[in-house]
Amino acid sequence: MQSFRARVLTPDLDGPGSHPLRWIPDAHVVIDDAGRLVEVAPYTGQPVDEDLRPGVLLPGFVDGHVHYPQTRIVGSASGPLLEWLQRSTFPEESRFSDDTHAREVARIFCAALASAGTTLAFVYASRHETAADAVLDALDQAGLRALVGPVWMDARSPDALTISAERSEEAVRRLADRWHGHDDRLQVAVIPRFAVTSSEAGLRRAGDLSRELGLWATTHLAENTAECDTVAELFGRRYLQVYEDAGLVHDRSVFAHCIHLTDAEWDRFAAAGAVVAHCPDSNAFLGSGNMPTGAVVSRDIPVIIGTDVAAGRSFRVPRILSSAYDNALAAGHELTPATLLWWGTRSGALALGHDHIGAVAPGLDADLVLVDVPPWVDDADGVLAWTLFYADAPLPRRTWVRGRVIWDRDAHAARGGVFPWDLPG
Ligand SMILES: [Zn+2]
């Protein structure tokens, strides 16, 4: 048992409806030995293990789209999507055939996630099975939750990154045998990188495998107009149709970006029960455009937020939520801060089938993040303002997954750590 006194802000379990948030200015929080929240209630004078006030406990953040092998190239400015892939991404990802490099970056990546307050992430590895294994191992050690897969790239890719769909399938099967369901925290996923680097047969094999093994699938969709034109030229039809024909659009599939879709395509997307990974900072950095937030919200399409590092420039989900607000407003749609918090926590968890996390509520696992806000902030609106929109906010003070501390800022600083991944000592 662990018990705390803290301020608590959490989305409602069921969504940003009539009671979108619960704010407890002085709460008693108890976590049992299995890491489950057993009490979240107003404080009534009990002795506690630790008083975390004036810190605010929030649910851990969910990053629905992030590329682990791009960890070291954040801020690599080299133009729009297709140029950026050639100039920055593919050369870096080619290095992940080296297991030592893959394992070192995996450690850095996990520290970046935990220190950002992220507790669950949907992670693209490079095309290498060994690199996917390395990051799964690091995620396990770090105590994080994740869905992970190697990217499939069986066409129009640099030689060093090209791999047959058959070999990718074999890799996913082996990784799933080893890792899928591990400690109820790790899952293996099917991840064709995107249509441009896939053959028609490769996409179909990926779709078949995800349905055969019941694995989540994810890929990029309609991010950039040059990319959409290339797909139309290569496949002779529109982008979403290519994935539909491959059996990849279903209620366990996540599509990143989704900027250039027609209304009819959005209708089909919604009917399939697919999930949008909204990556507004990446969309800005690569000049891709604005995702039509209204089209998604009006159809009740499940949304998760993606940092999309390294096209996204931050591992911090709140930074991306701030960009989501800007993006929506520019497109004529005003999002509430409560909806943003929902997207970054409970919505992301539910969208990825994790109904046991995403809020600070009894019965859920204790996936939590402790944040600092200025001393004058004493209500839910203020906490949202300073947590979601203040770009200079300090890193979270602490992050827990299932009741276990996976990041402690003060302890890290006391050991001389500056960047989150600095080794102690
Ligand atoms: Zn991406």
pLDDT in tens, 366-395: 999 999 999 999 999 999 999 999 999 999
Asked, colleague to colleague, whether 2-60+357-414 and 61-351 share their fold, the answer is no
pLDDT for 425 beyond 90:
no
pLDDT at position 331: 87
Q: How far is CA 241 from CA 203, 221, 223, 228, 261, in A?
A: 12, 11, 15, 12, 11
User: What is the per-residue pLDDT across 16-47, written as a single tens digit (0 to 9) for each?
Assistant: 665 479 999 999 999 999 999 999 999 999 99
| C-alpha of residue 220 to centroid of ligand 1, in Å | 6
Taking the centre of ligand 1 as the mean of its atom positions, its distance from the CA of residue 106, in whole angstroms, is 17
12 CA to middle of ligand 1, Å? 29
Angle formed at CA 389 by CA 324 and CA 77, multiple of 5 degrees: 60
pLDDT at 424: 67
Q: Judge contact between 31 and 39, C-beta under 8 A.
A: no
* Fold assignment, 2-60+357-414: Urease, subunit C; domain 1 (2.30.40)
Architecture category of domain 61-351 in CATH: Alpha-Beta Barrel (3.20)
What local confidence, expressed as pLDDT, does residue 15 receive?
64
Residue 371: HSE in the Cβ half-sphere, 13 Å Cα cutoff? 30
Is 329's pLDDT higher than 90? yes
Q: Specify whether the CB–CB gap between 143 and 404 falls below 8 A.
A: yes
**How much is the average pLDDT of 118-139?**
98
Q: Are 138 and 131 in contact (CB under 8 A)?
A: no
pTM reported for the whole predicted model: 0.97
Distance 90 CA to ligand 1 centre (A): 13
Distance 8 CA to ligand 1 centre (A): 32
Asked if pLDDT for residue 14 goes beyond 90, the answer is no
**Distance (Å) from CA 370 to ligand 1 centroid:** 28
| Interval between CA 2 and ligand 1 midpoint (Å) | 38
Q: For 186-209, how does the pLDDT look when each residue is reduced to its tens digit (9 = 90+)? A: 999 999 999 999 999 999 999 999
Residue 167 burial by CB count (10 A; 0-12/13-18/19+): exposed, middle or buried?
Answer: middle
Q: Which of 352, 152, 401 is nearest to 252 (CA)?
A: 352
Mean pLDDT across 394-410: 98
79 and 365 in contact (C-beta within 8 Å)?
no
Tokens 């993040």 identify what position? Answer: 369
Ligand 1 geometric centre to CA of 108 (Å): 19
Phi, psi of 316 (to 5 degrees): -95, 110
Q: How far is CA 7 from the centre of its chain?
A: 25
User: What is the rounded distance in angstroms from the CA atom of residue 214 to the CA atom of residue 125?
Assistant: 20
Instruction: Give the distance (Å) from ligand 1 centre to CA of residue 308.
Output: 5
Q: CB 305: neighbour CB atoms within 10 A?
A: 29
Taking the C-alpha atoms of residue 175 and residue 130, their distance in angstroms, rounded to an integer, is 9
C-alpha 221 – ligand 1 centre gap (Å)? 10
pLDDT (tens digit, 9 = 90+) per residue, 46-104? Answer: 999 999 999 999 999 999 999 999 999 998 888 898 899 999 999 999 999 999 999 99
Tell me what pLDDT residue 16 has: 61
What does the domain layout of the chain look like in residue ranges? Answer: 2-60+357-414, 61-351
Average pLDDT, the chain: 95
Compute, in angstroms, the gap from residue 322 CA to the centroid of ligand 1.
Answer: 19
In the reported structure, the alpha carbon of residue 219 is separated from the centroid of ligand 1 by a whole-number distance in angstroms of 8
